């Protein structure tokens, strides 16, 4: 089956959904192709308190609202399907999905997002889902009255550490530097929480247990000393890796894997735009992703109108 659209958006996170809202509202026939749950990494946030105009909303709820809004303007959203073939170098861009469907458009927006960065140490793969988690919202309640570790020093790590204290008996934040890369508010809230303690200039060098994680090795990066710590669970929040494998041979990327775009959010290929956590920028927030999606959609619309 072949379907033809004006704009195809790959990725259904905040950047992709916003792009869908803007392009569909501009009367462009728009399709969002999304591999997993619509909302991207946003749906993993227990609570979002800094989205303008909305106070204390869950990430999944905010994603659902964005999805509903995009569909209300006529945007078609297809989820839980992987892309098996991507041909975006010609005037007509062709995308084939794993269910055998083929989609064509004159413009494509890459809103590919990212995935959780891992420590790549002994036992990490073995204990994923068996004591190691990357989602406080998904797994926090499994650690009721338990002792847990949060790895990381950015906003996500500190904010999720605070949210996890509603379940855990204690939360220990392990961070590789002697200072945090988070907002003053996030740092203040973490330091004022009596359930939270800190191990700085350190990292986890190994995960151990039987059928379930029960112990980690913590390495002091300043002295090299390694010691064991009994623990019930570990939550890792050390950033994300851009999901750009699908286009690594199609568009220009930085060494980090991020998609290079110009001031119009266009890649090196005419008609191919990108935004969200898969492009280079210092701050990766929902609001910055939404801004990227807005710009990418408006410039893609401008591009189509010029043809």
Cα 33–chain centre separation: 16
Domain ranges of the chain: 2-115+240-305, 132-236
The CATH homologous superfamily of the domain defined by 2-115+240-305: FAD/NAD(P)-binding domain (3.50.50.60)
Identical fold between 2-115+240-305 and 132-236: yes
182's CB contacts (< 8 A; 6+ apart) are 153, 154, 155, 157, 158, 159, 190
SS3 278: coil
Question: What's the predicted TM-score (pTM) here?
Answer: 0.77
The reported pLDDT for the residue numbered 47 is 77
Angle formed by the axes of helices 59-72 and 14-25, nearest 10°: 20
SS3 142: helix
pLDDT by residue for the chain (307 residues), tens digit each? 799 999 999 999 999 999 999 999 999 999 999 998 899 888 877 778 789 999 888 888 999 999 999 999 999 999 988 999 999 999 999 999 998 999 999 999 999 998 888 999 999 999 998 999 988 877 888 999 999 999 999 998 999 999 999 999 999 999 999 999 999 999 999 999 999 999 999 999 999 999 999 999 999 999 999 999 999 999 999 987 999 999 999 999 999 899 999 999 999 999 999 999 999 987 788 999 999 999 999 999 999 999 9
CA gap 204, 210 in Å, rounded = 18
Radius of gyration, CA atoms only, the chain: 21
296's CB contacts (< 8 A; 6+ apart) are 15, 19, 109, 111, 265, 273, 274, 275
Q: pLDDT per residue over 275-290, tens digit each?
A: 999 999 877 889 999 9
Q: What is the DSSP string of 232-254?
A: SEEEE-S-EEE--GGGTTTS-B-
283's CB contacts (< 8 A; 6+ apart) are none
Say yes or no: domain 132-236 is CATH 3.50.50.60: yes
The reported pLDDT for the residue numbered 137 is 75
CA gap 88, 251 in Å, rounded = 9
Residue 130 Cα distances to 167, 215, 233, angstroms = 17, 12, 8
Cα 46–chain centre separation: 14
């Amino acid at each position: 089956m072949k379907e033809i659209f004006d704009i195809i958006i790959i990725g259904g996170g905040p950047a992709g959904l916003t792009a869908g809202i803007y392009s569909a509202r501009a009367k462009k026939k728009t399709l969002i192709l999304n591999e997993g749950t619509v909302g991207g990494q946003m749906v993993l946030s227990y609570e979002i308190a800094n989205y303008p105009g909305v106070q204390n909303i869950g990430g999944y709820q905010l994603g659902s609202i964005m999805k509903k809004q995009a569909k209300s303007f006529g945007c078609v959203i297809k989820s839980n399907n992987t892309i098996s073939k991507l041909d975006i170098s010609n005037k007509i861009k062709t995308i084939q999905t794993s269910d055998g469907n083929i989609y064509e458009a004159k413009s494509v927006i890459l809103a590919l997002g990212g995935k959780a960065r891992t420590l790549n140490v002994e036992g990490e793969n073995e204990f994923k889902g068996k004591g190691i988690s990357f989602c406080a919202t998904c797994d926090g309640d499994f650690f009721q009255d338990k002792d847990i570790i949060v790895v990381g020093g950015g906003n996500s790590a500190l904010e999720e550490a605070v949210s996890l204290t509603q379940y855990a008996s204690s939360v220990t934040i392990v961070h590789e530097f002697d200072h945090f890369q988070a907002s003053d508010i996030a740092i203040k809230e973490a330091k004022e929480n009596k359930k939270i303690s800190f191990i700085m200039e350190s990292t986890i060098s190994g995960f151990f247990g039987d059928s379930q994680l029960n112990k980690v090795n913590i390495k002091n990066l300043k002295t090299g000393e390694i010691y064991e710590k009994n623990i019930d669970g570990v939550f890792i929040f050390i950033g994300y890796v851009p999901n750009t494998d699908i286009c690594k041979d199609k568009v220009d990327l930085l060494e980090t894997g991020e998609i290079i775009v110009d001031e119009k959010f266009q890649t090196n290929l005419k008609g191919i735009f990108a935004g969200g956590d898969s492009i280079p920028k210092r701050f990766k927030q929902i609001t910055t992703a939404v801004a990227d999606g807005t710009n990418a959609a408006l410039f893609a619309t401008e591009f189509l109108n010029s043809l």
